[in-house]
Amino acid sequence: MERAAVGSSNISEVGYDPTSETLEVMFTNGSVYQYYNVGQALFDQLMQAPSKGQYLNVYIKNSYPYSRVG
């Protein structure tokens, strides 16, 4: 999955696959997580959020299934 660099103190890159509704997040420490069943609208809101790390923590992290992939 292709990821794009984002301006965040905690997140370095974000990718999204609309077909599988999978969000992929690379953190500044190098770890990579995939979050599943994340709709396009939620991804769009994440990318527009002033604080991507805060948005991820509040709306995605404990609400969607995920796995560490890297």
Asked if residue 32 lies in contact with residue 25, where contact means CB atoms within 8 angstroms, the answer is: yes
Q: How far apart are CA 67 and CA 34, in angstroms?
A: 6
Q: What is the dihedral of CA 66, 23, 68, 63, to 10 degrees?
A: -30
pTM equals 0.96
One digit per residue, pLDDT tens: the chain, 70 residues? 999 999 999 999 999 999 999 999 999 999 999 999 999 999 999 999 999 999 999 999 999 999 999 9
Q: What is the model's pLDDT at position 18?
A: 97
Pick from 8, 28, 13, 21: which is nearest to 64 by CA?
21
